[in-house]
Structure 1
Amino acid sequence: MDHLWSPWRYRYVTKEDTARPACVFCEKQNELTVFTAQHCYGLLNLFPYTNGHMMIAPFEHVSRIEDLPEPAWIEMMRMARLAERNIRAAYRCEGLNLGFNIGSVAGAGIAGHIHLHVLPRWNGDANFMTVIGETRVHPESLEDSLAKLTACDWTLSAL
């Protein structure tokens, strides 16, 4: 059996890192921020499914869409349209997944703060490594993904 080691992740999964805030979206992980708008911002997923996997989160800490003020909801959806356009252009992907996981039973890793996942998809991107080896292989670093996406036009007037 082969082993892939990621010791940097241990503190995250065991919550040993006491410096970690209760909500990474409220911290705004500035080193991973793709864009900042009036009511929301976009950031890379620290544990991406594919390269270019980003999330759009409101600044307001709410756990359900219904609790989000209308202007923030509208802006999030407009930014999702820009994310679709920009990820298609930057990654030349064949499709995209966009989705909310609301509540921990629905798969939300951070259930207290809603966020929209936006990730590019390609035919065959769920290969044997993911299915059999339970391992994901990313050919691009987070720094390269960040550079690629921050170079895009994130102004709402671009719509």
Structure 2
Amino acid sequence: MPEIEFSDTLPGVPDAFQRLWTPHRMVYINGEGKPKGHDDCPFCSAPGRTDEDGLIVARGEHAYVVMNLFPYSPGHLLVCPYRHVADYPDLTVDETREVAELTQRAMQVVRRVSRPTGFNLGMNQGAVAGAGISMHLHQHIVPRWTGDMNFMPVIGQTRPVPQLLGEGRELLAEAWHD
């Protein structure tokens, strides 16, 4: 067995490679805490919490807007129906209408607060299509800025997000009612 050499630097200490250590992302990467069913679905439990604790930005009658726990960019929101439903065609007419209206309003609010130059909108239907939580439908609203895609996601498989979720939620929730 080769002898292990120890150096003066430890993992997490900046070195010539300028690594950005994000160990908190391992929960997402490893799928830890992924819901197994309706009882532990985060999109079903969030509305039962306070807006601050659930990271909820706004509530409607049939759907609500929540910060994404693993955002692609600052202000990454999700619009979720309250009802535990997985497939878009299974939404009621009222749920479909409100998901669309909340998506429109969320875009307006994010534009006012953060001034993105574009958005990615979408629903990943099923795990094979990239849905992290495929059992409960949710619409992504991802603000984008010119030049926001740098080497980090491509080379480092890491996406630096410069704003804490709670701070982003507070700014967006305040602006929602302006």
Amino acid in the other structure paired with 2:107: E
Q: Report if the CA contact (8 A) 2:76-2:141 is conserved.
A: yes
The alpha-carbon deviation at position 15 of structure 1 amounts to: 2.8
Deviations 1:91-143 (A, max 9, x none): 10100111000111110011111000001100111101111111111111111
CA–CA distance in structure 2, aligned partners of residues 137 and 130 of structure 1: 9
Which position in structure 2 is the counterpart of 1:59? 82
What is the DSSP-based 3-state SS (H/G/I as helix, E as strand, rest coil) of the residue aligned with 1:111? coil
Alignment of 1:26-105 (within 5 A): 26-28=44-46, 30=49, 31=53, 32-105=55-128
On the 8 A contact 2:78/2:140 being kept in 1, the answer is: yes
1:25 matched to 2:43: yes
**Largest Rg, 1 or 2:** 2
What is aligned with 1:143? 166
Kindly indicate whether residue 21 of structure 2 is the aligned counterpart of residue 4 of structure 1. Answer: yes
Query: Higher mean Cα deviation, 6-15 or 76-85?
Result: 6-15
After superposition, the CA RMSD in angstroms is 2.4
- TM-fit CA distance, 1:13: 3.1
Answering whether residue 114 of structure 2 is matched by residue 114 of structure 1, we say no
For structure 1, the residue ranges without an aligned partner over 5 or more in a row are none
SS in 2 for 1:130: helix
User: Is contact 2:58–2:176 with CA below 8 Å preserved after alignment?
Assistant: no
Structure 2 length-normalised TM: 0.78
Aligned residues: 154
Deviation at 1:10, TM superposition (A): 3.5
Q: What secondary structure sits across from 2:98 in the alignment? A: helix
The question of whether the paired residues in 1 share the 8 Å contact of 2:121 and 2:140 is answered with yes
Q: Deviations over 1:12-38 (max 9, x none)?
A: 8353699xx531101116421111110
Tell me: CA distance 1:75–1:132, structure 2 relative to 1, closer, same or farther (3 Å). same
| CA–CA distance in structure 2, aligned partners of residues 8 and 48 of structure 1 | 11
